[in-house]
C-alpha cells in the first residue's frame, strides 16, 4: 500500500487512505464521507474532504463528487490494510567486521519510524522490530548493506540461528549466526573472508531473532 511522508497532517491523510482501502475490501463499495470520518477518526467531514482533495492531487485516488460513494483508489495492486503489519524501525545494526552501537530493542515500544510489511511474511506478529543492515559480513545469508531485517524480540535462540547480540562490555550490538559453546558464544559471520569470534556468554545478550529480510530496492 502506498505510504505518505511522516507528519501529523500526512498521518491523517494516511488514516483516510487506509480506511478507504479496508472498507472497499470488506464491503466491495467505497465508504461515504461520514463513514470515513467515523472510521478514520477524523474531527469533521470538512477535514475528510480536505484530506480527500490532497489525496486526489497526489493521484492516489479519484473522486466522483456527485456520488455519495464516489471514491476510487488508484492502486489496483495494493495490499489491503488488514493484510499488513506495522513494524517499528529501531535503528541500524552492523553486518560488518566489528560491532557498532545500535538502539536497544526495547526502543520498539516508542519508535517514531515504522514500516509496513505483509502479514504473510511472519507467522507471529508479536514483539517485532526492524533494523537496517550495515556492512557485508552476512552476504552468504543473503543480507546485504541497506537491507531491512525484521526481528522478533527474543532472549534465546537455537544453535545456528541468526540473531542480534548485545555485547554488554562494549555497549554495542551485532548481527551474526549464534552457536553456544559452553560458557561462551561463537558469533559467525556469513562471509568467507571473515572469521568467527567468541564472546563470554555472561557479557552477551540475545536481543532478537531474524524472521525475514526485505531487500534493498
CATH 2.10.109.10 positions along the chain are 84-214
Q: What percent of the chain has pLDDT over 70?
A: 77
* Residue 67 pLDDT: 57
The chain-wide mean pLDDT, for the chain, equals 79
* Residue 5 pLDDT: 43
* Mean pLDDT within 170-193: 91
CATH class of 8-77: mainly alpha
Among 47-61, 70-84, 166-180, 188-202, the range scoring the smallest mean pLDDT is 70-84
Instruction: Name the packing angle between helices 45-57 and 8-27 (round to 10°).
Output: 90
Is 8 noted as a catalytic residue in this protein?
no
CATH 1.10.10.10 positions along the chain are 8-77
pTM over 0.75: no
* Residue 38 pLDDT: 93
Q: Is domain 84-214 annotated with CATH 2.40.50.140?
A: no
Among 56-60, 71-75, 170-174, the range scoring the smallest mean pLDDT is 71-75
User: Which one is catalytic: 134, 152, 176, 188?
Assistant: 176
Is 49 noted as a catalytic residue in this protein?
no
User: Which one is catalytic: 134, 137, 152, 173?
Assistant: 137
Residue-wise burial string across 103-130, b where 16 or more C-beta atoms lie within 10 A, e elsewhere: eebeebeeeeeeebbeeeebeeeeebbb
Amino acid at each position: 500500500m502506498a505510504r505518505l511522508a511522516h507528519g501529523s497532517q500526512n498521518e491523517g491523510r494516511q488514516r483516510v487512505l487506509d480506511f478507504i482501502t479496508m472498507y472497499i475490501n470488506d464491503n466491495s463499495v467505497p465508504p461515504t464521507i461520514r463513514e470515513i470520518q467515523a472510521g478514520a477518526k477524523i474531527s469533521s467531514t470538512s477535514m475528510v474532504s480536505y484530506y480527500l482533495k490532497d489525496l486526489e492531487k497526489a493521484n492516489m485516488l479519484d473522486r466522483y463528487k456527485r456520488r455519495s460513494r464516489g471514491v476510487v483508489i488508484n492502486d489496483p495492486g495494493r495490499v489491503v490494510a488488514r493484510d499488513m503489519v506495522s513494524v517499528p524501525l529501531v535503528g541500524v545494526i552492523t553486518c560488518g567486521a566489528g560491532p557498532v552501537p545500535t538502539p536497544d530493542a526495547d526502543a520498539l515500544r516508542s519508535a517514531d519510524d515504522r514500516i509496513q510489511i505483509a502479514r504473510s511474511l511472519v507467522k507471529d506478529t508479536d514483539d517485532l522490530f526492524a533494523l537496517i543492515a550495515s556492512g557485508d559480513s552476512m552476504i552468504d545469508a543473503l543480507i546485504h548493506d541497506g537491507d531491512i531485517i525484521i526481528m522478533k524480540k527474543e532472549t534465546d535462540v537455537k544453535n545456528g540461528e541468526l540473531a542480534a547480540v548485545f555485547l554488554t562490555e562494549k555497549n554495542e550490538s551485532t548481527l551474526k549466526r549464534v552457536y553456544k559453546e559452553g560458557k561462551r558464544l561463537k558469533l559467525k559471520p556469513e562471509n568467507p573472508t571473515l572469521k568467527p569470534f567468541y564472546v563470554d556468554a555472561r557479557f552477551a545478550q540475545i536481543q532478537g531473532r531474524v524472521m525475514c529480510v526485505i531487500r534493498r530496492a
